[in-house]
Chains A and B, each alone.
Chain A
Amino acid sequence: AQSVTQLGSHVSVSEGALVLLRCNYSSSVPPYLFWYVQYPNQGLQLLLKYTSAATLVKGINGFEAEFKKSETSFHLTKPSAHMSDAAEYFCAVRYTGNQFYFGTGTSLTVIP
C-alpha cells in the first residue's frame, strides 16, 4: 500500500542547532509532497509543498525540504532551531487521485 513514513516520533534539539525531520514515501512515481506543522491546541498549518519546479523547497519560518527521488525522501530541515519551532510536524503525500496520506508525526522539542 502506498504510504508515508516519518522516522522518529520525537526529536530534541538545542536552540540554534540544526533541525532534521525525516520523511520517506513509498512510490516509484513521485507524489505531491507536503509538510504541515501543528502548534499546541491548533490545527495543521501548511509549512511547505513540493512543486517540482525545484528539488529544494523553501517554506515559512526558515524551514526547507529537499526532494530526493533516488531516496524517495522529502526531509525537512532548518539551520538554526528556535524555541518557537517546538511543535508537531507531519509529512503528507498525495498520489494520483485526491486522498492525502499523513505520516504519524514527529514532535519537535527545542531545548534552551
Chain B
Amino acid sequence: DADVTQTPRNRITKTGKRIMLECSQTKGHDRMYWYRQDPGLGLRLIYYSFDVKDINKGEISDGYSVSRQAQAKFSLSLESAIPNQTALYFCATSDPGASYNEQFFGPGTRLTVL
C-alpha cells in the first residue's frame, strides 16, 4: 500500500549529538514536509520541499536542516541536538495536483534529547 514511513520511530540521544530522521513515501507525491508536535502547541512546520530542487524554511527551522535525496525521500537533521528539541516529529506529503492538496502523515518519530 502507498505509505509514508519514518525511521527511527523512537530515538534517545544526548545534547550535542548530530542525528538524522528519515522519511520515505510511496505515494508519488512531489511535496514533502517536516513538522514537530509539542503538547499544547499543535504542529509547527520546520521545512518543506516542493520537489527535489526546492527546499523552504518553515516556521521553526533554526537548529534543523533537511535533505531531499529523491522524490521519495526527505531527511531531517539536527546538527547539534539540544533538550528543547525533544518532541514528536512528523513527515507529511501532499500532491499539488489533488483538488484540496491535503497532507498525508507518517507515524512519527519520538525524539528525546537528554
Contact = CB atoms under 8 A, between A and B. Distances in A.
Nearest to A34: B102
Nearest to A100: B103
Contacts, number: 55
Given A43-B4, A43-B105, A98-B50, A90 B42 contact: yes
Interface string B73-114: 000000000000000001010101001111111111000000
Interface centre among A32, A42, A98 (most CB of B within 10 A): A98
Given A34-B102, A49-B102, A94-B101, A100 B45 contact: yes
B25 to A, nearest CB: 12
A44 to B, nearest CB: 4
Size class of the contact patch on chain B: 20 to 34
Contact of B42 (A45, A94, A99, A103): A103
Contacts of A12: none
Contacts of A32: 100-101
Interface residues of B, dominant DSSP: strand
A77 to B, nearest CB: 20
Given A42-B107, A43-B108, A44-B90, A102 B42 contact: yes
A26 interface: no
Given A104-B42, A105-B42, A46 B101 contact: no
Given A92-B103, A94-B101, A102-B44, 9 more contacts: A32-B100, A36-B105, A43-B108, A44-B103, A94-B100, A98-B31, A98-B94, A104-B40, A104-B42
Interface of A: 9, 32, 34, 36, 41-46, 49, 51, 90, 92, 94, 98-100, 102-105
